[in-house]
Amino acid sequence: MLKINILTLFPEAFPGPLALSLAGKAMKSGIWNLETYNIRDYAHDKHQTVDDKPFGGGNGMVMRPDILGAAIDDVKSKNPGTRLIYMSPRGAVFNQAKAVELSKENNITIICGRFEGIDERVIEKYQIEEISLGDFILSGGEIAAMAVIDACLRLVNGVIVSRSALLEESFGGESFHSNLLEYPQYTRPADWGGMSVPDVLISGNHAEVAKWRLQKAQELTKARRPDLWGKYKK
């Protein structure tokens, strides 16, 4: 079973959408489990203060190392060997390869920051891995954490029954699609608003269908993601 621990100021945000659809069913069946820790519970004062002004001046507030450190120590004591991750815009950009890597873990702890971030000493002391969703800023790490968790859960055995379905997706990693975007998808009705499904998809010729899908995946990748196209052509 995959155990995921969340350190956050907003535990009520979880499980959120992770309780729905395939992830929700997998949680109910015991394939994975989620536990939240409210960082404010480790504060020392009646106001449950967790942040303070940054040394050196500047805008915003920074999460205090003594408060967050106490929270991390508690999580680690209950989850020996847990992998610590901090959702941070300065971290390595999350991708499918990282999702595959994390899906093989047994215990992960994700720290959801707020304000201007967390005290650097916490990152150094606990050797926390920083992960980013991309070159943009969110109000906090909760939404980013959910995206990472969802991407990982899809790869955990038992969450998606048909493992072959994963191979046909963008960034599948185990077929020619590893550096190609996914081909266009169609379903019934075959004619909608005067727009028809490509004839090859209803031809019954599986070899031609596969050829068409590869061609379309190549065209989309070349047009939309030249970075991936360059990798694919090597």
What's the pLDDT score for residue 233? 87
Range 164-233 has CATH code 3.60.15.10: no
Q: Does residue 136 have a pLDDT over 50? A: yes
Rounded to whole angstroms, the Cα distance separating 168 from 170 reads 7
| Long-range contacts, 54-57 (Cβ 8 Å, 24+) | 54/116
Statement: residue 163 has pLDDT above 90: no
Can you give the pLDDT at residue 172?
59
Q: Map tokens 């519970």 to a residue.
A: 41
32-36, 73-77, 170-174: which has the minimum mean pLDDT?
170-174
Alpha carbon of residue 217 to chain centroid = 24
Instruction: For the beta carbon of residue 106, count every other beta carbon within 10 angstroms.
Output: 11
Could you give the CA distance from residue 92 to residue 5 in angstroms, rounded to a whole number? 20
* Domain extents in the chain: 2-153, 164-233
Asked if residue 164 has pLDDT above 60, the reply is no
CA dist., res. 186 & res. 176, Å (int)? 21
Partnered with residue 63 across adjacent β-strands are 51, 118
Rounded-to-10 torsion of CA 184, 187, 192, 195: 30
* Among candidate residues 108, 107, 122, the one with its CA nearest the CA of residue 42: 122
pLDDT, average across residues 3-18: 98
DSSP string, the chain: -EEEEEEES-GGG-SGGGGSHHHHHHHHTTSEEEEEEEGGGG-SSTT---EEPPTT--SS-EE-HHHHHHHHHHHHHHSTTPEEEEEEEEEEEP-HHHHHHHHT-SEEEEEE--TT-B-HHHHHHHTPEEEESSSS--SSSHHHHHHHHHHHHTTSTTTSS-THHHHTSTT-SSSGGGGSPPPP---S-SEETTEE--GGGGS--HHHHHHHHHHHHHHHHHHH-HHHHHHHH-
Which pTM value belongs to this model?
0.89
Judge whether residue 42 has pLDDT over 70. Answer: yes
Predicted confidence at residue 179, as pLDDT, reads 86
Rounded percentage of the chain residues whose pLDDT exceeds 90: 90
What is the per-residue pLDDT across 77-135, written as a single tens digit (0 to 9) for each? 999 999 999 999 999 999 999 999 999 999 999 999 999 999 999 999 999 999 999 99
Neighbours of 153 (CB within 10 A): 23
Amino acid identity, residue 129? E
What pLDDT does 161 receive?
79
Give yes or no on whether 2-153 and 164-233 have one common fold: no
Residue the block writes with tokens 């992998």? 83
Please provide the average confidence, as pLDDT, over all residues in the chain: 94
Average pLDDT in the 40-48 region? Answer: 96
Question: What is the rounded average pLDDT of the residues 158-182?
Answer: 69
Strand partners, 7: 37, 111
Question: What pLDDT is stored for residue 174 in this prediction?
Answer: 47
List the single range of 91-105, 143-157, 163-177, 207-221 with lowest mean pLDDT. Answer: 163-177
CATH code reported for the domain at 2-153: 3.40.1280.10
Residues 6+ apart with CB under 8 A from 142: 8, 10, 13, 14, 112
Average pLDDT over residues 58-80: 97
> Which of 36-45, 155-164, 179-188 has the lowest average pLDDT?
155-164
